[in-house]
Structure 1
């Protein structure tokens, strides 16, 4: 205990240089979650859309509701949104994605599939969780449409005021 006594900053530097006890190997805290077919499943949500997503090793083919992603999401920006988790994890073209989406519009559905892909990717490869989480893809976006209130034209807009 006396050899670790600190009297000034120089002593602190010498203590920091002494090797500590060997650390355990950095194993992922979570286990790999795979079903009998070798796929990983997750649910993604955004606005009113809910996506059920399965990923498995493959060539990068993305199928949404039985159709190819380029047919279902015709806008290139929506396809870009789908591929973001793979770009962040540096796994482009390595996984096949099968997704079924219900509810909401195309933008919400693309966000839901992205959320589902991110969740499923971290279940398949738990080591990628930190990278995907740092990009903010594991958090469900809580923004939803505000409800219309009684006595109002829309959620917040009042009816036009008439003095006479």
Structure 2
């Protein structure tokens, strides 16, 4: 969804999901800052280079690393799921910026939602598939 600010800046938004994590991403033309839930991206993702690389991968692929500020509201799950959710939301927002970005992002796999979630527990079992120990006598 595209919205306009009072100072004629355009906000591009996208939503990403992974496991139980949801990330609402807003792209604002700026200097390349990453802000997640009011914290800097580095401190929120615990200075993990892997999570930072995953989160900002769509921008690096398109060469737009320093052109947009990224504001994220992330909730649910853990840091790994939130990093993947941010990546999907960012890729969707970049498709709104320029529809030609879709081809590049699709070929890199950034627009595919990873649908794997934890399997539910079944009655009579300890977990989803783990059964109590069988005793013959």
TM-score in same-fold range (> 0.5): yes
**Could you say which residue in structure 2 is the equivalent of 1:63?**
35
1:54 to 14, 26, 35: 26
> How big is the shift at 1:69?
0.6
Greater strand share, 1 or 2?
2
Deviations 1:15-48 (A, max 9, x none): xxxxxxxxxxxxxxxxxx6311211011111111
RMSD (Å), alpha carbons: 1.2
**Cα distance between partner residues in 2 of 1:102 and 1:68:** 16
| Unpaired stretches in structure 2, ≥5 consecutive residues | none
Looking at CA atoms only, which structure, 1 or 2, has the larger radius of gyration? Answer: 1
Is 1:42 aligned to 2:10, yes or no? no
TM-score by length of 1: 0.77
Give distance in 2, aligned partners of 1:140 and 1:89. Answer: 19
Which of 73, 77, 82 is equivalent to 2:50?
Answer: 77
User: 2:115 matched to 1:142?
Assistant: yes
More RCO (CA 8 Å, sep 6+): 2
Q: Does 1:96 align with 2:69?
A: yes
